Amino acid sequence: MDYKENILGTIGNTPLVKMNKITKDIDALVLAKYETFNPGNSVKDRMALKMVEEAEEKGLLKPGGTIIEGTSGNTGMGLALAAIVKGYKMVCVLSDKQSKEKIDILKAVGSEVVVCPTDVAPEDPQSYYSTSKRLAEETPNSWYVNQYDNLANTRAHYETTGPEIWQQTDGKVTHFVVGVGTGGTISGVGKFLKEKNPDIKVWGIDTYGSVFKKYHETGEFDKNEIYPYVTEGIGEDILPKNVDFNIIDGFTKVTDKDAAIYTQKLAKEEGFFLGNSAGAAAKGLLQLKEHFKKDDVVVVLFHDHGSRYVGKMFNDDWMRKKGFLDEGPVEDEIS
């Protein structure tokens, strides 16, 4: 009989899927690493499990303990699945820009959810970074995950995602493109692929309001670059330890509007029902097309599932209110 001992055994080994319509103007073969096939519907299941396992090995996470993490939703889901199977409590701290669906999904799997304001500095006591740390200090027998600086995040992708892409492309991958938030995915996958073939190019997708692109190009952390943005899951106003800028060949920035529009396009033109960061990555691919040649094999990683965004990027009223759709008046909301 072929079965897994528990749901954590289904993490990884996600498919590569050829993109066709959106990438018709790109000469290269473009393949999507489709991470929604993970049980928590996102790439973050990989690093969540790795971080929990390493914390257990180091004695940081003890039986009956509480896992506490600041998350945009997906890491929280991966941690919640691990917590359920392994017998821990889960507290997720989110910023208020995250979709209602993300909050509801975390509650559905038994997590306690704390919501913090978005428009505050990282060091502000109300920020979701500060709140996560404070809760961990106040909660007995708890472990603060800190996915931004916990290098198990990068190791998870070096050990699983990178090797999968190499094997699935028969070693023919020439470019890896992915949105950058905590940095674990781009750094882990990029490190593995460049060890296999140093000529492979690694491109990060950034968003306006984030510091990554300018810091990579100039070495300057420019606080004037930082302002609130709508795109979820990518970009930062800090420099996480998991972002290895030496691995990354370059960044391209995608606007909130383009990210939202291309999230819808992926669903309607490719049948890819994906999250907001996938829309940013798809538009980023098109912005980078001059870097790709006919025989290249470009792998773009898509992080999470569209079900987290049905009230936002897949809601035309919301899109119009944000100025992302131009046609027609906003319909009255049903009370």
pLDDT tens across 120-159, in order?
Answer: 888 888 988 899 999 999 999 999 999 999 999 999 999 9
> Which residue from 24, 99, 9 is spatially nearest to 265, judged by alpha carbons?
24
Provide the CA 21 distance to its chain's centre, in angstroms: 24
> Which residue from 297, 245, 233, 249 is spatially nearest to 94, judged by alpha carbons?
233
Dihedral angle over CA of 182, 37, 80, 100, nearest 10: 80
**High-pLDDT (> 70) share of the chain, %:** 97
Q: Looking at domain 44-144, which of 3.40.50.1100, 3.20.20.70, 3.20.10.10, 3.40.50.2020 is its CATH number?
A: 3.40.50.1100
pLDDT, average across residues 101-114: 94
Q: Is the pLDDT at 332 greater than 80, yes or no? A: no
Q: Is the pLDDT at 331 greater than 80, yes or no? A: no
pLDDT, average across residues 169-182: 98
pLDDT, average across residues 292-303: 98
Tell me the Cα Rg of the chain.
19
The burial class, CB within 10 Å (0-12 / 13-18 / 19+), for 293 is exposed
**High-pLDDT (> 90) share of the chain, %:** 89
Q: What is the mean pLDDT of the chain?
A: 95
pLDDT digits (tens, 9 = 90+) for 229-279: 999 999 999 999 999 999 999 999 999 999 999 999 999 999 999 999 999
Record the tokens describing residue 56, joined without a space: 């257990």
pLDDT digits (tens, 9 = 90+) for 45-99: 999 999 999 999 999 999 999 999 988 889 999 999 999 999 999 999 998 888 8
DSSP 8-class letter at 250: E
What pLDDT was estimated at residue 129? 86
- How many residues does the structure list for the chain? 335
Q: Where in the chain are the domains? A: 7-41+154-321, 44-144
Q: How many CB atoms lie within 10 A of CB 248?
A: 22
Residue in this structure with the two tokens 């079900």, named with its chain if needed: 307
- Predicted confidence band at 327 (pLDDT cuts at 50, 70, 90)? low
Task: Report whether 151 contacts 241 (CB < 8 A).
Answer: yes
CA distances from 16 to 12, 28, 48, 190, 299 (A): 12, 15, 22, 17, 8
Do 7-41+154-321 and 44-144 share a fold?
A: yes
Distance, in Å, from the CA atom of 217 to the CA atom of 251, rounded to the nearest integer, reads: 9
**Domain at 7-41+154-321: CATH code:** 3.40.50.1100
- Report residue 307: phi and psi, to 5°: -60, -20
Please name the residue ranges forming H helices in the chain.
44-57, 74-86, 100-108, 128-138, 152-156, 162-168, 184-196, 212-218, 256-265, 276-287, 316-321
Record the tokens describing residue 150, joined without a space: 């916990």
DSSP 8-class letter at 329: P
Strand 16-18 and strand 29-34: the pairing is antiparallel
Distance, in Å, from the CA atom of 250 to the CA atom of 201, rounded to the nearest integer, reads: 9
Catalytic residue among 4, 21, 44, 50: 44
What pLDDT was estimated at residue 82? 98
pTM exceeds cut of 0.85: yes
- Predicted confidence band at 208 (pLDDT cuts at 50, 70, 90)? very high
pLDDT, average across residues 322-335: 60
User: Can 44 be counted among the known catalytic residues?
Assistant: yes
